[in-house]
Structure 1
Amino acid sequence: LWRDPAAIILIVFAFTFALYSVSKDIKTEVNNAPIGVVDNDHSPLSRRLTDALQPPLFRKPVALTAETADAALETGEVIFVLEIPPDFEADLLRGRKPGLMLLIDATAMTQAGLGASYIGQIVSNEAAQALGSPAAEASLPVRVVPRTAFNPNHQAVWFVSVMQIVLDLTILSILLVGAAFMRERERGTIERLLVMPVTPIEVALSKIIANGVVVAGAAFFSLELIVRAGLGVPVNGSTALFMACVAPYLFSTAAIGILLATSAGSMPQFALMSIPVFVILNLLSGAVTPMESMPAAMRAVMEASPTTQFVALSSAILFRGAGLAEIWRPLAAIIAIGAIALTAALLRFRAQMAKAG
């Protein structure tokens, strides 16, 4: 690995700049969303509603007309258009129930859903305060007061940064270990292994441990220096327990890398085979979309993925401060999956060595 500068640069880049930039730049919450207002009322209340749409949730509202609103949505100038009808304030004062029209560019899927909820809350609160009437929930016999135990401001960077470490561990362990095996075959050194007093499992473990130690060390420094110090994400759980769980996870994913390497005919073929594997492992692991939103059959299949188990384990440790008593089930699953994958990889490798001999 030390003689492979490209691999070293990849490891450093993945756990530093790539992790920091992805965590800071990819946001799932509403932030600086462009919004336009069609004010057909021009009343104190309509101006109050417009002024209430403030950063950091929304940009300063753009004044639009009914004729220009559709064009602004189609060109992407705005995501939301709030249209206030004529006599809106007067109708409210008379006890009527006038309606507001909210146009949304739903291609911005995440911001569209959350933004519509925020705008609805802002309109309700401002209208109640302007008219001197109590908020709707104040008249109810029960009042719901939500309290967020972790990440109270719902900052995506707290979640994305940790999941990016999981993604980097997955990709690099598969690529580095698999590439090490492919280099042995392409350089012809696999024949030298046949005459050495080593077993296939010793050869496999040497590749896994050598690359795994480097990747795990990079993940530790990334968690401490980039996630904690650089991004300011509070990690509630035990870093030592997390790193102890990283080891069996790297064995599982590295075994997948060996299995792919023994199935590929060349390094380009191995790279192409690896791409759909770690893309599926990441996208369907619960790191990007909730497992509960997937079809039951897909959830059952992905339960056999070490990444799915590791995402659940990492979230429990780093977000909720869970101990070994809470995470032993996904940890045991990772070890079992890794043992199966490593056994299959060794059988393939042994068959290749016997064929070469």
Structure 2
Amino acid sequence: MSDDRTESAFLTRLTALVRKETRQMLRDRSNLMVGLLLPVALILLFGFGLSFDVKNAPVALVMQDRSAGAREIVSGLRGSAYLDPIDVETMEQASRMLREGKVDAIVQIPNDFASRQVKGGAEIQLILNGVDSTTAQTLEAYIQGAVGVAVARQADRGGATASGGSVTLMTRTWFNEEGNSRWYLVPGLVVLIMTLVGAFLSSLLIAREWERGTLEALFVTPVRPLELVLAKLAPYIVIGLIDLTMCLLAAVFLFDVPIRGSMLAIILVSFLYLLVSLLVGLLISGVTRNQFAASQVALLTSFMPALMLSGFVFDLRNIPVAVQVVAQILPATHFMGVIKTLFLAGTDWGMVASNSLILMGYIAILTILTRRTLRKRLD
């Protein structure tokens, strides 16, 4: 009987405690957000946003020979579901498109293709964008397969053995000749570190002062919201620039990654993106006014998207259109593209200017929104 009473009392206390904790959890919206929204975000990001497939890869096609044999090769490329050939008049234009990232490869059919094919020694030049070594290797295999199918079709029509050996693919890799994955990943780390230092750390600033009650003391002083924003940003700008310096030194001396673009351009776009990240963090902290909630929102809205949807891990052209639209809204996507180009391909001032204007637009919008969250009022 005593045991029954003890068990009943235990269940009564446990039930009461479970009810109390459940009510407390339902009142704590930040915990609910982490527990329910974070899994949903991860499911959507990994399910729809993560793809290592190569589909409809843009390939610049330079046809200097328009014979029947050359057109047969082109039809093989156009018939592949993995390739999207784009007709280009000159190699100079194709090279510019490859450097700007508008195409992933160049296929050049030389003007002596037909005569060499008759002799059994025709060659086609393939130039790959080696910034992403995995994509380059996959694309090379697809193009070799498409050319082989086209040559086999020619041989069948001519009654010859379908071997595909009469056409040789001469492959060169630009921007990452060694196919070193570090050359692809290290520039992207600059984006992630700037995001971490900017959005994640600064998201705790205003929230911490709201929790401690120190922000109210500033409301009775002549300090203006814009002045408060600038004062909050200043120390973290210094930290961000120090981190950028460490990234550049590590890239060159630790990982042997070349920096082929202008150092001035790298510093300029990195500084602009650092400001964007810091303002995002300040905006989050001003809206949430809670350190835990601010850190979680910063993780979900800045660091995770920068990791998954900026082009750091895989080519954004291989994901669904809806996810591509979301990716283009992210500041990290624009910074990722230009920083990789500056590291490995060289300086494209047009690309630097366009992405810098986009980042400055984000700075203007975020500054206005952040000032509104820091108005002198008490809720």
TM range (shorter): 0.5 to 0.7
Q: Deviations over 1:61-98 (max 9, x none)?
A: xxxxxxxxxxxxxxxxxxxxxxxxxxxxxxxxxxxxxx
| Superposition deviation, residue 230 in structure 1 | 0.7
Partner of 2:336: 311
Separation of aligned partners in 1, 2:362 and 2:323:
17
What are the equivalent positions in structure 2 for 1:76-95 lying under 5 Å apart?
Answer: none
The structure 2 residue matched to 1:284, chosen from 306, 309, 318, is 309
Partner of 2:377: 354
Q: Deviations over 1:32-88 (max 9, x none)?
A: xxxxxxxxxxxxxxxxxxxxxxxxxxxxxxxxxxxxxxxxxxxxxxxxxxxxxxxxx
Aligned amino acid, residue 139 of structure 1: S
The structure 2 residue matched to 1:258, chosen from 262, 279, 282, is 282
Q: Is the CA contact (8 Å cut-off) linking 1:201 and 1:346 kept in structure 2?
A: yes
| Superposition deviation, residue 313 in structure 1 | 1.3
What are the equivalent positions in structure 2 for 1:203-282 lying under 5 Å apart?
Answer: 203-224=228-249, 226-277=250-301, 278-282=303-307
| Superposition deviation, residue 138 in structure 1 | 4.7
Q: Is the CA contact (8 Å cut-off) linking 1:178 and 1:258 kept in structure 2?
A: yes
Q: Is the CA contact (8 Å cut-off) linking 1:253 and 1:338 kept in structure 2?
A: no
Q: Deviations over 1:140-179 (max 9, x none)?
A: 2xx3212112111211111111111210111110122221
| Superposition deviation, residue 296 in structure 1 | 1.8
What are the equivalent positions in structure 2 for 1:1-357 lying under 5 Å apart?
Answer: 138-140=165-167, 143-224=168-249, 226-277=250-301, 278-350=303-375, 353-355=376-378
Q: Is the CA contact (8 Å cut-off) linking 2:208 and 2:290 kept in structure 1?
A: no
TM normalised by structure 2 equals 0.55
Q: Deviations over 1:186-215 (max 9, x none)?
A: 222102211222211111112122202211
Partner of 2:20: none
Separation of aligned partners in 1, 2:258 and 2:237:
26
- The runs of at least 4 consecutive aligned structure 1 residues that moved more than 3 Å come to none
Aligned amino acid, residue 264 of structure 1: T
| Superposition deviation, residue 257 in structure 1 | 0.6
| Superposition deviation, residue 264 in structure 1 | 1.5
Q: Is the CA contact (8 Å cut-off) linking 1:179 and 1:261 kept in structure 2?
A: yes
Partner of 1:19: none
Q: Is the CA contact (8 Å cut-off) linking 1:236 and 1:318 kept in structure 2?
A: yes
Separation of aligned partners in 2, 1:148 and 1:221:
29
Q: Deviations over 1:300-351 (max 9, x none)?
A: 232221101101111221121114333211111111122112211221222x
Q: Equivalent pairs: percent with the same residue? A: 23
- Unpaired runs of 5+ in structure 1? 1-27, 29-109, 122-135
Aligned amino acid, residue 378 of structure 2: K
Separation of aligned partners in 2, 1:173 and 1:322:
25
Separation of aligned partners in 1, 2:310 and 2:209:
32
| Superposition deviation, residue 279 in structure 1 | 0.1
TM normalised by structure 1 equals 0.59
Aligned amino acid, residue 340 of structure 1: I
Secondary structure of residue in 2 paired with 1:319: helix
Partner of 1:43: none
Q: Is the CA contact (8 Å cut-off) linking 2:283 and 2:373 kept in structure 1?
A: yes
Secondary structure of residue in 2 paired with 1:300: helix
Separation of aligned partners in 2, 1:311 and 1:237:
14
Q: Is the CA contact (8 Å cut-off) linking 2:288 and 2:294 kept in structure 1?
A: yes
Separation of aligned partners in 2, 1:305 and 1:147:
33
Aligned amino acid, residue 253 of structure 1: S
Secondary structure of residue in 2 paired with 1:354: coil
- Unpaired runs of 5+ in structure 2? 1-51, 53-133, 146-162
| Superposition deviation, residue 137 in structure 1 | 5.8
Q: 1:324 to 1:193 in 2, by over 3 A?
A: farther
Q: Aligned-pair RMSD on alpha carbons?
A: 3.0
Aligned amino acid, residue 335 of structure 2: F
Q: Is the CA contact (8 Å cut-off) linking 2:206 and 2:289 kept in structure 1?
A: no
| Superposition deviation, residue 222 in structure 1 | 2.1
Q: Is the CA contact (8 Å cut-off) linking 1:150 and 1:320 kept in structure 2?
A: yes
| Superposition deviation, residue 297 in structure 1 | 2.3
Aligned amino acid, residue 313 of structure 1: V
Greater fraction strand: 2
